[in-house]
Amino acid sequence: MNIFKSILIAFSIYSRIPVPTFEWGDVDYRHSISFLPLVGVVIGVLVGIATIFEDLPVFVLTAIFSVIPLLVTGGFHLDGFMDVYDAKSSFSEKEKSLEIMKDPHIGAFATIGLLKLVIIWAGALYLVVYGWKTGRHIGGVYSYAASFVTVRALCGLISIILPKAKSDGMLVREAGDAAIKDKAILGAELIIAGTAWAYVDWMSAICCGAGLFAFSTYYYLMCKKRFGGVTGDTAGYYVVMSELVVVVILAAIGTAYWL
């Protein structure tokens, strides 16, 4: 396992950060998912750096904090979110649902789902930023930064552990033949991220951890019932929805501090 190559491949796949070009081997590609959380580290660091603009209006800061992950990832996970939303909304059988997710066209349900996502995300993150800016929940924004690492570590572990819906596809290439060392790397990344999060704001870490566990359980049951397992698209859906769960919980915690 060439760790350096796998890290570069991870950034090449999961982000828009330029990396040196080289020949990808199957072994290197197979371990790239182990370093998916490192993309979250970049996002978290940039969010932390952006806090230097704390004097800007809350609305502007909300926009900045929202755009950072989009700029880093290029909206990579949103594609999977929209595909899964379309498939879920069709209430079709497994085979038809998988076909819908493969369709490159954007359906009406996907557009509606994205609109809902943006509205809820913007409203919740506004409350998080407001709580941080007013000093009522200072740990909110820093918890938001830490969540990008935690969510990706969870996504990597779940993608490796859960059964795959198809025998081919991107996720199978990335996680289908993952070894114990990949689980160990992702597990270590999850522990480090969770510990750092708890150090920043233990209450948020516990509440968001419970929320992520609940959503992960739902995700497993949903994928098993609707698709017969997980795919690259469902992994993207998991990342987007998990991040939304975190933001909503952080907004709720921040609001509770005001009461």
In this prediction, residue 172 carries a pLDDT of: 55
Which pLDDT does position 40 carry in this prediction?
A: 97
Q: What span, in angstroms and rounded, lies between the C-alpha atoms of 138 and 108?
A: 39
Q: Cα(150)–Cα(71) distance, rounded to whole angstroms?
A: 19
Would you call 29 helix, strand, or coil by DSSP?
helix
Distance CA 259, CA 246 (A): 20
123, 254 in Cβ contact below 8 A? Answer: no
The predicted pLDDT at position 251 comes to 96
As a dihedral over the C-alpha atoms of residue 98, residue 102, residue 105, residue 106, rounded to 10 degrees, the angle is 50
Q: Give the C-alpha separation, 165 to 130, whole Å.
A: 42
Instruction: Tell me the C-alpha distance between 99 and 167, whole Å.
Output: 14
Task: Report CA-CA distances (Å) from 178 to 27, 136, 182, 190.
Answer: 10, 43, 6, 17
Using CA atoms, how far apart are residues 83 and 98, in angstroms rounded to an integer? 9
Cβ atoms < 10 Å from Cβ of 109: 16
Please give the pLDDT value at position 27.
Answer: 64
- For residue 173, how many other CB atoms are within 10 A of its CB? 15
CA–CA gap between residue 14 and residue 171 (Å, rounded)? 12
Report pLDDT digits (tens) over 36-64. 999 999 999 999 999 999 999 999 999 99
Q: What is the pLDDT of residue 171?
A: 62
**Nearest alpha carbon to residue 182 among 28, 77, 13, 73:** 28
Residue 68's identity, in one-letter code, is I
Single-letter residue type at 80:
G
CA–CA distances in Å: residue 148 to residues 5, 119, 125, 173: 22, 20, 14, 23
Weakly modelled stretches of the chain, pLDDT under 70: 1, 24-28, 166-179, 258-259
Per-residue b/e over 199-212, b at no fewer than 16 CB within 10 Å? ebbeebbebbbebb
- Rounded CA-CA distance 54/126 in Å is 13
Give pLDDT, residue 177.
Answer: 58
Q: What is the pTM of this model?
A: 0.92
